[in-house]
């Protein structure tokens, strides 16, 4: 497996089905994966069937206020409890095949033809699930460290943005013909910004920022808004409003955070935009982008399209670049080149990957990360 952290990965890392299968098992099913906002489960009895690293998972709002997750397989003969990709709202979890019924906490309540007292061990198989900052995370490993230690100090860095209270004003889904790692790598450097993002480069400086010192499984850093720009938008306009708890410096910074393996949180003084990755194949990734605004601005009827237009445009540029890299690294004989000084975040990501590849283990919180990332 690849191991160098001074050069990019060999083409095989982005094209091989066996590398992809290993990553889906080790890095995605055994890592904490963001599956969306907590608003996915709006009410008691809300149930949603999703895919996490190729495994069917049922998310449930069980009335205790805590989200629950189970394998989306009936304990009788395996029928899906809710069809993959669908959502329902019911007071019980019900299998349509032979009508076994489970409580919202997963316990078996009724199985036609069975004495239910003898079926205590036939509850749904639980999956670890947690709400952090208004996002739902799932982990299919029983032994992985808890989400809090994975998040580390991202908690305090994002605290001023009060992420749990933010409202979604827009969602866009993109089907990108590129390996998921290329999308992470692209987010972790702004070396490409002057040539790939002329509009972004007009409102944000593309050099001169700093990396954050991370204590979790995340990489990040900030870059400054240009003096002429009020916010990240195509014409530099934006809301004349700052998150009240942001310190003076941060108000003029765009902060990039990649919580591995698959959630990017980009924070501005007036809104957040997130990218959530779902690897679909060695050369295919679904990216769901969400625009999050503070409730004050939403209630005031603020026009938030400046943020949507800017990032939708920037996304298109990034996906075109990532898809081109996917084609380029797929050329037989491709040799990876050296990383630039401004690709420190990418270098840190490749180090984490190399450790995971070498140990046959999921991505782990490093003990010595002092380099971060910029988009």
Q: Which residues bind ligand FES (CB under 6 A)?
A: 74, 76-79, 95, 97-98, 100
Min dist CB 31 to ligand FES, Å, is: 29
Nearer to ligand FES, 119 or 280 (CB): 119
Nearest residue to ligand FES by CB is 74
Residue holding tokens 């890392």? 13
Site string for Fe ion, 68-87 (x = CB under 5 A): --------------------
The binder of 328, among ligand FES, Fe ion, none, by C-beta within 5 to 8 A per type, is none
Min dist CB 108 to ligand FES, Å, is: 10
Taken as a whole, the chain contains a residue count of 375
The binder of 14, among ligand FES, Fe ion, none, by C-beta within 5 to 8 A per type, is none
Nearer to ligand FES, 93 or 322 (CB): 93
Residue 343 within binding range of Fe ion, rule CB under 5 A: no
Min dist CB 318 to Fe ion, Å, is: 4
Q: What angle do CA 35, 57, 135 make, to 5 degrees?
A: 20
Phi/psi of residue 247, each to 5°?
Answer: -75, 165
Q: Is the dihedral of CA 168, 174, 180, 185 positive or negative?
A: negative
Only one of the segments 40-48, 75-83, 140-148, 311-319 lies at the binding site for Fe ion (rule: CB under 5 A); that segment is: 311-319
Min dist CB 287 to Fe ion, Å, is: 12
Neighbours of 54 (CB within 10 A): 13
Please count the residues of this chain forming the interface with Fe ion, following the rule CB under 5 A: 1
Only one of the segments 35-43, 48-56, 289-297, 316-324 lies at the binding site for Fe ion (rule: CB under 5 A); that segment is: 316-324
Min dist CB 177 to ligand FES, Å, is: 37
Q: Residue 208 is inside which H or E element, if any?
A: none
Among left, alpha and beta (phi > 0; psi -120 to 50; other), residue 106 is left
The binder of 318, among ligand FES, Fe ion, none, by C-beta within 5 to 8 A per type, is Fe ion
Task: Output the six-digit token pair for 317.
Answer: 């540029």
* Cα–Cα distance for residue pair 13/357, rounded to 1 Å: 11
Min dist CB 61 to ligand FES, Å, is: 21
Q: Are 273 and 134 within 8 A, CB to CB?
A: no
Q: Residue 219 is inside which H or E element, if any?
A: strand 218-224
Nearer to ligand FES, 96 or 331 (CB): 96
Q: Is the peptide bond before 261 cis (omega within 30 degrees of 0)?
A: yes
The binder of 178, among ligand FES, Fe ion, none, by C-beta within 5 to 8 A per type, is none
Min dist CB 267 to Fe ion, Å, is: 16
Residue 318 within binding range of Fe ion, rule CB under 5 A: yes
Nearer to ligand FES, 76 or 364 (CB): 76
The binder of 202, among ligand FES, Fe ion, none, by C-beta within 5 to 8 A per type, is none
The binder of 79, among ligand FES, Fe ion, none, by C-beta within 5 to 8 A per type, is ligand FES
* Cα–Cα distance for residue pair 225/229, rounded to 1 Å: 6
Nearer to ligand FES, 114 or 316 (CB): 114
* Cα–Cα distance for residue pair 207/297, rounded to 1 Å: 30
Task: Output the six-digit token pair for 8.
Answer: 């990019």
Residue 5 within binding range of Fe ion, rule CB under 5 A: no
Q: Strand (E) positions, 72-189?
A: 87-89, 93-94, 101-102, 108-110, 126-132, 135-139, 167-176
- Alpha carbon separation from 139 to 35, 218, 359 (Å, rounded): 10, 16, 19
Cβ contacts of 198 within 8 Å, gap of 6 or more: none
The binder of 147, among ligand FES, Fe ion, none, by C-beta within 5 to 8 A per type, is none
């Amino acid at each position: 497996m690849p191991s160098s952290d001074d050069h990019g990965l060999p083409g095989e890392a982005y094209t091989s089905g066996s590398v992809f299968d290993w990553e889906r098992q080790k890095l995605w099913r055994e890592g904490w994966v963001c599956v969306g906002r907590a608003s996915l489960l709006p009410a008691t009895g809300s149930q949603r069937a999703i895919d996490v690293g190729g495994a069917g998972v049922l998310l449930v709002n069980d009335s205790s206020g805590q989200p629950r997750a189970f394998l989306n397989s009936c304990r009788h003969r395996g029928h899906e409890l809710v069809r993959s990709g669908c959502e329902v709202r019911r007071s019980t979890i019900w299998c349509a095949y032979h009508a076994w019924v489970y409580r919202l906490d997963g316990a078996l309540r009724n199985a036609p033809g069975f004495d239910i007292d003898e079926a205590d061990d036939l509850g749904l198989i639980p999956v670890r699930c947690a709400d952090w900052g208004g996002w739902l995370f799932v982990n299919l490993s029983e032994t992985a460290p808890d989400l809090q230690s994975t998040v580390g100090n991202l908690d305090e860095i994002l605290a001023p943005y009060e992420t749990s209270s933010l409202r979604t004003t827009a969602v866009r889904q993109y089907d990108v013909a590129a390996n998921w790692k290329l999308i992470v790598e692209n987010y972790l450097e702004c070396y490409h910004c002057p040539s790939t993002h002329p509009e972004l480069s007009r409102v944000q400086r593309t050099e001169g920022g700093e990396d954050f010192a991370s204590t979790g499984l995340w990489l990040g850093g900030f870059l400054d808004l240009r003096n002429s720009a009020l916010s990240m938008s195509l014409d530099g306009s934006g809301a004349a409003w700052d998150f009240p708890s942001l310190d003076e410096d941060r108000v003029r910074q765009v902060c990039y955070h990649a919580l591995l393996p698959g959630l990017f949180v980009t924070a501005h003084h007036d809104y957040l935009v997130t990218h959530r990755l779902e690897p679909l194949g060695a050369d295919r990734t679904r990216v769901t982008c969400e625009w999050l605004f503070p409730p004050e601005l939403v209630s005031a009827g603020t026009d938030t399209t400046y943020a949507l237009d800017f990032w939708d445009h920037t996304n298109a540029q990034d996906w075109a670049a990532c898809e081109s890299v996917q084609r380029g690294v797929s050329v037989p004989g491709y040799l990876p080149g050296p990383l630039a000084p401004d690709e420190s975040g990418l270098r840190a990501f490749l180090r984490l990957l190399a450790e995971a590849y070498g140990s046959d283990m999921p991505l782990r919180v490093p003990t010595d990360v002092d380099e971060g990332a910029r988009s």
